[in-house]
Structures are given as C-alpha cells and as structure tokens.
Structure 1
Amino acid sequence: MTAHNSGTAGVPGEGNSRFEVLYEDNHLLGIVKPVNIPVQEDATGDADLLSLLKEDVKERFNKPGNVYMGLVHRLDRPVGGAMIFAKTSKAASRLSESVRTHSFHKVYLTVVHGQPPASQGRLINTLLKDAKSNTVTIVRKGTPGGKEAILDYTVLGSAEGYTLLKIDLLTGRSHQIRVQLAGIGCPLFGDQKYGSAVNRPGQQIALWSALVGFPHPVTKEEIELISLPPQTFPWNLWSRHLQKQAIR
C-alpha cells in the first residue's frame, strides 16, 4: 500500500489531526513531519513532535491516560517529510527489527550547491559525532567512536548552480547526508552547520524525507509513505512530476 501526502490510508481517526496524516491504523501513524520541530524533547525546551503526536491521538480518539507513541527513526530538526511512528510497543519492536535487518527503506530528496563528480555514486565514510557541539565530522576508518556511513546518490537535474539529488540512505547516522555531501564539495542548500560558506542565515535546509517503506509489523503488507517537498525555492526549480517519478 502506498500512502501519498494527498490523503490518508488505513483507519482514520475520530477527528482531523493537526498534522498531515499519510497512514494510520491501530498499530501505526505515518505523518509529514513539519520542518523546524525537534522529534524528541531537547535542550531548547521547544515543543517536540513525539509529545505533540501523543496529545493529538489522545484528543482525536478521546483516549484516557497516557498514549503510547514509539519512535522508530529520526529526522534532524530542520528536515521535513514522511515519518512513521508506532502506536503499540509490539509494532515499535517489529519496526525496529525491520530497521536492523535493512527491510526499512528511506529515500530523501535534497538540493545541493554545485554538482557531484558523477551522475550517480555511493559514498562510504566513517563519521564521528561530537555530542557537545552536536556536529559530525568525517574521520579515518578505525577512528575510535567512528561509525560507517553509506548512501547512494542519483543526480536528477541541475539548474542555476544547484543540483537535485535522490538519496538512498543505507545507514542512519546523525547528520549523515549533510556531512557526506559536504565532504564531496556539495553542501546542502540552506545548511548553516555544514555549508555556512555558501548559505545565508535564515535559509531553510533543502532536505526532505520523500519515501519511507517497510513491511507492516502485523499484516506484513508492504507500506510506502510518500511526501514531496514544498513548491518553494529551490525545490521549484524542478517539476513535481520529476520529483515523484524519481522516488519510485
């Protein structure tokens, strides 16, 4: 089953959600994550997505007591797009197992400065995170604390000095796409952390979770959540048709 950001699949809630719902049943909730909202509570104290979703489900279904909402994967705070949550602990456990066994598939769209050296390729790096500064750097293989990061990229088009890329994420490291693409001289549009030399403060990072695919934790049916980025600059340099076709 494929759920697009033009409607809801599965069992609808009792009322309208404050979020754009891509898929919902008794086990799962798939939404379009708004940009600039942290997925989990962080040091800023700003409202976080996990807490907001619990409140949303509690209100829509008139549920007493606490609402369970399991976090299966993450998106950086400035990144938007398709995201799946588990509504039961069993669903959370089975989805986490799908992540571990690589049957959980994630595709991103991003706009970068410049152009990669090839029309498609695989980037393999070792990444090291500095928790204090919340930054990630590429380090030599074997560096203590370093984790292997792998992604495949495909060039979809170029315009006005920017390139639209499809990213198949094969590992889920912190800031992975942003760091690896900056590492080949193609920082993401709007990324202040890893592309401050070419981006202006206030620009929205052009990274979008376009597809999340996985076997349903109960029915085993293959589920795909699809969300396209907003039609604002620089995304609007390329057609919606191109973006949609690229992620299938």
Structure 2
Amino acid sequence: MSEDNLEITSEEDDLFEHYRIVADKGQGLIRLDKYLSLHVANASRTKIQNGIEAEAVKVNGQPTKASYKVKPLDVVTLSLPQPPRDNEIIPENLTLDIIYEDDVLLIVNKPTGMVVHPAFGNWTGTLINGLVYHFQQLPTGRNGEGRPGLVHRIDKDTSGLLVIAKTEFAMTFLAKQFSDHSIERTYYALIWGEPKQEQGTITGNIGRSAKDRRVMDIFEDGSQGKHAVTHYKVVKPLRYVSLIQCNLETGRTHQIRAHMQHIGHPIFNDTVYGGDKILRGTSSGSYKSMVENCFTLLPGQALHAKSLGFIHPSTRQWIQFDTDLPPNFTAILEKWENYVNYQ
C-alpha cells in the first residue's frame, strides 16, 4: 500500500471516516485485526478488535469479524463518532535544547522519546508543538501540511541535532542542500557485534516492507525502494558490541537502522529491527543482567545525530554543530567498557 492510499476524510453523518485503506494488489491474506495494527499508527490490537466488534471497521462497506482475511484491493474503512483532527498545531511551552539560533534558522538537540511533528496518536508534546510556542510563525513547508520550519526529521527514539528554518527562503535553501546530499550528517550508534571491516559503505535501496509497513526493507537489486548509501567507521570495538560513526550520503526513513540490520549488526535496543534482545554473548548470568540493565537505561535504539554541517542561507559560509552523547547513552557505553575490561 502506498502512502497515497491512506486518506483522512470526513463525512456529514453520525460517523466520520478517519481511515480508508486500499489493500495492495499483491497483498497476502492476513487477519483484519493484524492488518489494521500494521497500518494504523499507535493503535493497539485490543482497541482495533473493540472497534471491529462495534462495527466501526468495515471491509468493502460491510462490517465483518476480526478473523476476516484481508485480500488484494479490499477497501478497509475506520469510522468514529468524532471528526478527524485538523492540521491545527497547538503551541506548547516545552523545554527545548536550542544550541544555536539566529534570524533565519535554529539548531535544536532533540531528546530521545520526543516525536518531531504531530501525527495520529501524537498530537501534543512534539518538537513542532514546542517550536510553534517558541515562535509566533514558522514556514509551513509543503502545501501547509503542518510541519512548520521542518526541513528534515529523526525518529522518536533517536536523539540529536535538527536544523529548523525560520523563513521560507531558509527552508528552500536548506532543503536544496538535503536534496543535493551536500549536508554533513554524522551519527553515533551502538551496534551488536564487531563488523569484519573497521570501515565500509552499505548500499541497498530502502523501501517499506510488504509484511509490516512500520519496517523498512533493503532491496539490493534496485527493483524497489529508494537509493540509499551509509558510510560507517568503528570508533570503539567492545567485543559484543561496537560504537560506530555513520555518515549519511542519502537520508531515507530508518536508513542507518535498516542498513545495520541488513549487514547483521542491528542497533542496540532497536525494538523494530531486532536489537532489543541478546544477539552476542551468553543469555544467562551476570552478562544477561548487565545487558538487561542497559536496555532499561536506554528507552529506545542507541542512535544519536551527533553533528550537522551545511552552508548558511544568509552568510553562504559553512557552519558546523556538534553535541555530546546523551547521558543514558554514555552510561551504557561505560557499562560495556567496564564489563569487557574486567572479564
């Protein structure tokens, strides 16, 4: 299913259509409740099953059971009593770590766990809600779709640097650099295992998985997805895990996370790409306790957007920004170093 097949609409009726999802031509048979859990963000399977029971979910215009097997080109709709939320962004007085600001842009250090922009299930508490409060007005970007000043984004559980445009010209100027891949972006990640090569380049088209829309797959033959290139270098090998530096040549959704899983080294504690379980070493004793303690310390994947460099829209000079690893990231690094050094 392409993103264009998921529409948010409303009708003048007792119920308002929130989702209309058209199954792909190649869609394999899958239970309706599971299908919706893969396509509706932040909706638990229990809530979906309750919605199906209440006949809020219909397939091809007819209510059905949770066990119904979705087939190619089925039209699945979800209707609720309240209308879908509009694109209004509510200003919120959030604490933002702004490390640089001038008349045309700012650089913010986003913490782990903060969503970048409002979307289904995350209408408040996002970076954009905080920025709208911080400024009276920001450029809205493409078709006024509710992402003021946003030129790029990073995942909810990835921490680090983002550049925010404060003028339309700055937004266009910066977007061109992202499009040309001339922006310098350096990430630090803790991965499982030690790569055979201390540095290398990972290539492989990235596109959404046909089995789970939340996951990105790698297509080496180039038949699907978008061209993606990640350069990596091992900064500190720690026997069971490694701290690596990644530089993005392209900027695809989940690029580093998907590429590292593809070469057999998922990012530590990445719940989507299999890094949230013990993949190296024993699964018992003090080692297991230490790893589980690290998982507890870090709420998401161990990935941090550490540095960002680009040509300034006004001065036309190259500017570079860098930030330290978050305290919880540093804490788990120290635990791994101590464990390896004293074994």
- TM tier, smaller: 0.7 to 0.9
CA drift at 1:55: 0.7
User: Is contact 1:111-1:234 (8 Å) kept?
Assistant: no
1:195 aligns with 2:258: no
C-alpha contact (below 8 Å) 1:206/1:234 kept by paired residues: no
Give the aligned partner of residue 44 of structure 1.
121
CA distance in 1, matches of 2:333, 2:247: 18
- Does 2:216 correspond to 1:136? yes
Residue 238 of structure 1: how far off its partner (Å): 8.5
Offset, 1:221: 1.6
Amino acid at match of 2:205: T
CA root-mean-square deviation: 2.3
Counterpart contact for 1:106–1:212, Cα < 8 Å: yes
Change (3 A) 1:237 1:57: farther
Match of 1:184 among 239, 244, 263: 263
User: What letter corresponds to residue 126 of structure 2 in structure 1?
Assistant: D
Measure how far apart 1:152 and its partner are. Answer: 0.5
Q: Distance in 2 between matches of 1:236 and 1:134?
A: 32
Is the CA contact 1:126–1:148 (under 8 Å) kept in the aligned structure 2? yes
The answer for unaligned runs of 5 or more in structure 1 is: 1-15, 59-65, 240-248
Q: Secondary structure at the match of 1:236?
A: helix
CA 1:51–1:130 in 2, change beyond 3 Å: closer, same or farther?
A: farther
2:333 to 222, 228, 235: 235
Q: Does 1:222 align with 2:301?
A: no
Structure with greater Cα Rg:
2
Matched, 1:34 2:132: no
Match of 2:284 in 1: none
CA distance in 1, matches of 2:174, 2:96: 22
Q: Does 1:54 align with 2:132?
A: yes
Q: Gaps (5+ residues) in structure 2? A: 1-92, 140-147, 279-291, 338-343
Aligned residues: 216
> Whole-Å Cα distance in 2 between the matches of residues 160 and 176 of structure 1?
24
Are residues 81 and 138 of structure 1, via their aligned partners in 2, closer, same or farther at CA, if it must alter by over 3 Å?
same
Aligned with residue 101 of structure 1, among 173, 177, 180 = 180
Letter in 1 for 2:334: N
Distance change (3 Å), C-alpha of 1:237 and 1:213: farther
Moved runs in structure 1, 4+ residues, more than 3 A? 66-69, 199-203, 235-239
**Aligned with 2:178: secondary structure?**
helix
| Counterpart contact for 2:191–2:242, Cα < 8 Å | yes
Where 2:227 maps in the other structure, the secondary structure is: strand
8 Å contact kept, 1:181–1:188: yes
User: Matched residue of 2:222: which SS?
Assistant: coil
Q: From the two aligned structures, give the one with the greater strand fraction.
A: 1
